Structure 1
Amino acid sequence: MTNEKLKRTLSGRVTSNKMDKTVTVLVERRLKHPLYGKFITRTKKYHAHDDNNQFLIGDLVEIVECRPLSRTKNWKVTRILNEESNA
């Protein structure tokens, strides 16, 4: 058995890259309303660490939980899932 804990991973879209080495990632999740059965979209924004400032607005990325890097930043961008084409 490995000593490394399982880390939470989320996928979302980059909405802001104006900060240095930080991107804002919007994560959407769909849940069913308990009474009416309609699907509701819930969203949350996370600040994630981007070491090389390589991710652009609109990129679909995967983020993983890590140690606190600043007051609001507890996530790191691990990889890009779908690149936004600006051609």
Structure 2
Amino acid sequence: MPKRILQGKVTSDKNEQTVTVLVERRFKHPVLHKIVRSSKKYRAHDVNNAFKVGDSVRIIECAPISKTKRWTVLTDETALQAEA
């Protein structure tokens, strides 16, 4: 099964090697037939503390790193490893 890749904005970078990413999705409501926005926060592993608040990032699923971290920030090097 392929790993999911999501795109969002960094909302917090206060923790060491961790960023909080807000991912927003839009979908059509089944009854109201109206576009609804839904958002969710994910905690992602950022090895080099490279990303700051407001940055747009892509995150990829990975094995559990800690109690709350199940995602890794996708950089150019990790993108190449994920494709292989």
The TM-score with structure 1 as length reference comes to: 0.84
Query: Residue in 2 aligned with 1:17?
Result: 13
Structure 1 residues 27-85: Cα deviation after superposition (integer angstroms, max 9, x where no partner):
000011111111000000000000000101000000000000000000000138xxxxx
Partners in 2 of 1:55 and 1:10 — Cα distance? 16
Query: Residue in 2 aligned with 1:75?
Result: 71
Q: Which secondary structure state, in structure 1, belongs to the residue aligned with residue 47 of structure 2?
A: coil
Partners in 1 of 2:8 and 2:74 — Cα distance? 12
Give structure 2 stretches of 5+ with no counterpart. 77-84
Compute the RMSD of aligned alpha carbons.
1.2
Query: Residue in 2 aligned with 1:65?
Result: 61
Give structure 1 stretches of 5+ with no counterpart. 81-87
Q: Which has the larger radius of gyration?
A: 1
Q: Which runs of structure 1 show a deviation greater than 6 angstroms over 4 or more consecutive aligned residues?
A: none
The TM-score with structure 2 as length reference comes to: 0.87
Give 1 or 2: higher strand fraction.
1
Query: Residue in 2 aligned with 1:29?
Result: 25
Which amino acid letter does the alignment assign opposite residue 72 of structure 2?
K
Give 1 or 2: higher helix fraction.
2
